[in-house]
């Protein structure tokens, strides 16, 4: 779909359709700045949100407090993995090692 620049009255409907048809729920139900709802927190059905509340902020924009119940899946141990540090690589040595195989083949 090609997005046009500027306001298009079909965009909000398209976005709402994507959100609701994929099972997401908007948590914040009250305005967070004057009469406007500025904060959008979309969550899937697998998330465990305990509560959502609006608190007075330090300006005219209210804050959103989410209480989340974390399951065991979040505490799963990570697999150990090798992370190369390319900025410390001996580039010249690697280049020579590649050439060494070719030199050995042709007798150089």
- What is the pLDDT averaged over residues 1-12? 59
Report pTM: 0.46
Residue 43 placed within a domain: yes
Of the two residues 103 and 35, the one the predictor is more confident about is 35
pLDDT of 90 over the 80 cut: no
Both tokens of 92, joined, read 């010249």
Of the two residues 40 and 91, the one the predictor is more confident about is 40
Give, as one character, the DSSP assignment of residue 73: G
User: Which tens digit of pLDDT belongs to each residue from 17-50?
Assistant: 888 788 888 888 888 888 888 888 888 766 677 8
Total domains in the chain come to 1
Domain that includes residue 40, residue range: 10-72
With contact defined as beta carbons under 8 Å apart, do 81 and 98 qualify? no
Residue 98 placed within a domain: no
Residue 17 placed within a domain: yes
Residue 34 placed within a domain: yes
d(Cα 87, Cα 98) in Å, to the nearest integer?
A: 19
pLDDT of residue 72: 62
d(Cα 59, Cα 47) in Å, to the nearest integer?
A: 30
Termini Cα distance of the chain: 59
CA angle, residues 63, 45, 37, in degrees to nearest 5: 30
Instruction: Concatenate the DSSP letters of all residues of 17-72 into one string.
Output: HHHHHTT-EE---S-SBTTB-----EE-TT--EEEEEEE--SSSS-EEEEEE---G
Of the two residues 52 and 83, the one the predictor is more confident about is 52
């Amino acid at each position: 779909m090609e997005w046009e620049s500027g306001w298009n009255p079909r965009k909000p409907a398209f976005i709402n359709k994507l959100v609701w048809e994929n099972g997401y729920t908007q948590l914040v139900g009250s305005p967070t700045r004057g009469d406007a709802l500025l904060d959008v927190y979309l969550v899937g059905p697998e998330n465990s949100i305990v509560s959502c509340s609006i608190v007075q902020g330090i300006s005219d924009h209210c804050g959103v407090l989410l209480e989340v119940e974390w399951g065991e899946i979040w505490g799963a141990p990570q697999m150990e993995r090798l992370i190369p540090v390319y900025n410390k690589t001996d580039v010249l040595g690697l280049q020579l090692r590649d050439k060494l195989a070719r030199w050995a083949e042709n007798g150089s």
